[in-house]
A and B are shown apart, each in its own frame.
Chain A
Amino acid sequence: MTESSATLRRNVSRSRLLPLTGIFVALAAWQITVSMRPSLIPGPIVVGRAIGELAVRGLLVKYVVASLFRVTWGYLAALAIAIPFGLALGMITLGEMAINPILQVLRPISPLAWIPIAILWFGVGDVSAIFLIFLASFLPLTVATMNAVHNIDPVHLAAARNFGVPLRARVADVLVPAILPQLIVAMRIALGVAWLVVVAAEMIAVNSGLGFLIVDARNAGDRYDLVIAGMVLIGAIGVVLDLLMRRLERLDSVRWGYAAE
């Protein structure tokens, strides 16, 4: 008991210490490399100062909020449509047979390829950016929901049928909770993709956001320190979003779906 709790404590402190060490070593290596070849990219200290400059000019919060705003709307719209759509496809075999090939053809097309069409339909601006983010997360979510329905243990479906539960309750109390563990993983991945696409989406002549920051900093006077500041911020926020999504996996009603702890 005492031995295992000591091991546990050691593992916990290791699991906190090692990532921090890794980041520190990477930063140090970056700084050293840059001090030998200053023309390569700006070093971490310069980039840190650039982030400070953004904060002072009030752009840090403004751009982060702008990017999160677009991702939120695009992603929520994708959730609202993809989950019911995927559920329906998973339940209705004929519908799936008809629509699955289309999904499979659309899937390998990068969301970036839709930029001209987004501009054609929605003009340059927020709506186009949101549309691209929507597209990027919609397809993987639909396919994952559909597959999750197929993976439901047939015994659970048989039990639900046996008790004669009405359709609405069958969806709400059996289908949805049965796919939830897989769905949460898919939601996490889709949010990652949505965040990935925000940079490209913001290259469509919007005038705020972290993607805009990167393009603008390069166009307006080769401010590569700001370019890298934008990249660092995107990465850091991506990690935070992923950590938040991971918390959903701790819910009591979905923990059964993941490997035993």
Chain B
Amino acid sequence: MKVQFADVSMRFGAMEVLQHVTIGVEEGEFLCIVGPSGCGKSTLLNIAGGFLAPVAGSVTIDGETVTAPDRRRIFVFQERGVFPWLTVEGNIGFGLFDMPEEARRQRVAQYIQLVGLDGFEKAYPRELSGGMKQRVEVARALAVNPDVLFLDEPFGALDSITRLQMRSELLRIWRAERKTVLFVTHDIEESVQLADRVVVMSARPGRIRRVVDIDIAHPRDLSSTRYIELRDLIFGEIGLAHQV
């Protein structure tokens, strides 16, 4: 197991947020965590990232207990995480402070190309759209070559068309780079489109209700019977009648 959550519980003051979460994530796996808002899924990701310490249980990555953030595993926030005072280049090169100048320049150029931001090297974030800022943040994370990416509702602030584009971009990059990805979302469709497995959480205090294998090959046909079956299974598990 690459990432192992072992009986993780969390409490903020008197409020129980997570109860006995145990799950392992394989190396190179794309795992989505879905659940109603406030179910503690972001908290779970923050614990794995080393930003919060659980009140009980532990998270181990490669057998090491996580105690602090580490540049081998990078957390991607919504596009708010880009530094507005740095250009696209400056942001993407931010984590490469210990690299020689020339290697750093090449690495930055490589990731600018990977996320399709050629021509925007010198642009500041305020000149970019939400989707482009999100690309900058993903590129900044990938540039340091981490083994694990944590994405906390990364596309939540984007419009629905951009969001669809960003999903296929992310899958393309994931296939190219083969990182272990933990992806938190409240969007069930998104989880079924992206994940190898979907962890469905209960309302607060968050527990794992069910883990659903998404056994559809990429690229996924969003009108296939299996897709709809799995999607409705998760809707049902969260207790939502799938109708408006």
A-B interface, 8 closest residue pairs, ranked by CB to CB distance from nearest: A256-B84, A177-B85, A163-B95, A164-B71, A162-B69, A253-B85, A256-B126, A161-B69
CA distance A184 to B95 in the complex (A): 27
Q: In the assembled complex, how far is the CB of residue B228 from the closest CB belonging to chain A, in whole angstroms?
A: 36
The reply to whether A162 and B74 form a contact with Cβ atoms under 8 Å apart is yes
Residues of A within 8 A of B (CB): 153, 155-156, 158-159, 161-166, 169, 173-174, 177-178, 180, 252-257, 260
The reply to whether B70 and A255 form a contact with Cβ atoms under 8 Å apart is no
Given A162-B69, A163-B144, are A255 and B75 neighbors across the interface (CB < 8 Å)?
A: no
CA distance A155 to B243 in the complex (A): 36
Q: Return chain A residues, CB-CB under 8 Å to B83.
A: 156, 159, 174, 177-178
Main secondary structure of the interface of A (DSSP, over half): helix
CA distance A101 to B81 in the complex (A): 34
The reply to whether A173 and B94 form a contact with Cβ atoms under 8 Å apart is yes
Given A254-B85, A256-B84, are A159 and B77 neighbors across the interface (CB < 8 Å)?
A: yes
B51 within 8 A of A: yes
Residues of B within 8 A of A (CB): 49, 51, 69-71, 74-75, 77, 80-81, 83-86, 94-95, 97, 124-126, 144
CA distance A26 to B94 in the complex (A): 54
The reply to whether B70 and A164 form a contact with Cβ atoms under 8 Å apart is yes
CA distance A166 to B80 in the complex (A): 22
- What residue in chain B is nearest A252 (Cβ atoms)? B124
CA distance A169 to B69 in the complex (A): 17
CA distance A153 to B95 in the complex (A): 18
CA distance A105 to B239 in the complex (A): 58
The reply to whether A156 and B81 form a contact with Cβ atoms under 8 Å apart is yes
Q: Return chain A residues, CB-CB under 8 Å to B144.
A: 163
The reply to whether A163 and B85 form a contact with Cβ atoms under 8 Å apart is no
